Structure 1
Amino acid sequence: MRCCCGLAGKHNKCCSLFFFLSGLLMLASGFWMTVLYRRFTPVYHDIKCAFGSAALEGLHVGMPGFTPTTFDTRIEMKCSNPNPYSIRFAYSNEGGVFVGSGRTKVGESMETPYSDSRLPAYETGSVWTSSSVEISAAIM
C-alpha cells in the first residue's frame, strides 16, 4: 500500500507524522487566534477628549445693520485613545456651526487640513478643528 506521501510500506509512520504536524499547526493557529481575540476584543473602546488650546483668528467687527462680524477659530481637542490601533484624520467634510436654542446656523467647521491630527494606539493625541463664523445683525 502506498502512502499519501509516496512511501511504499511506510503508511502508518507517514500518516502519523502528517497528523502530528497537522495537530501542531492547528494548536499554533488556535493559540494565535486567541491572542488576536484578546487583543482586539472589544473592537472599540470609547475615546475620551477634553478641550486643549484655542485661537481666535481674523476677527473683523462689522457695522451693525451693514456688514457682519466674521472670525475664524482653531480649537485643539486632546484625546486619549485606549484602542490597540491608531486613528488618523486625513480629511473631513464641513459641518455646521449653530448658536442659540433655535439653532441658527452661523458658520462652517471641519478638521483642520494638514494639521496631522492623529491618535496613536494606547496614547494621547490631538485633533484640530477650524471654523469660520459670520454673525449678522439679522441673527442677533
Structure 2
Amino acid sequence: MNSRAQSETIGVILLVGVVTLAISTFGVYYLGSIDQNPGPTTNVDSHVTAEEIRLTHDGGDIVDTANLRVVVRANGADTGIDWSEGSLSGSTPDSFGPGETWSVDVSAARDDASGSDFDPDTEVRILLVHDPTNSVVYDTVTSPDSS
C-alpha cells in the first residue's frame, strides 16, 4: 500500500486554498479602496402646473446650485434646464437647502418653439442631477395640476 498519494492530494488542496484566500483578500482590499462618491442625499418634493415647475428642498444635504441641473422629459423630448434659469426662494442663492423652493416657467422646459404650457394629460418626468457625481438626486413622474 502506498501512503504517499494521500499526502500529495492534501498538499494540492491546501495550495489551492491558500491561493484562493490570497486572491479573495486582494479583491476585498481593491474594491474597498475605490473612491465612491454617491452624491448628495436630499429629500425633494415637486409641484408641476401648466405654467410652472417647482422643486422644494424638504431636508437633507445642502447642495451648491452651480452643481445642479434639471432635466424635464415631456412629450418624448428631453430638455436640460440650468439652475440659473429658475428663481430660488431663500437667503442664499448659491445653495439649495432645506425649506427653499426653486421654480421655473414651463417655457424653459419646452423643446419646441411654441413655449406653450403643459397639457393636463401630459406625463412629465423631472430629474434633478448633481453634475460633479453625475448622480440623480431626485426623479419623479407626474402630471401637471390644473391650478
Q: TM-score, normalised by structure 2?
A: 0.31
Max radius of gyration: which structure? 1
Q: TM-score, normalised by structure 1?
A: 0.32
Higher helix share: 2
Greater relative contact order (Cα < 8 A, sep 6+): 2
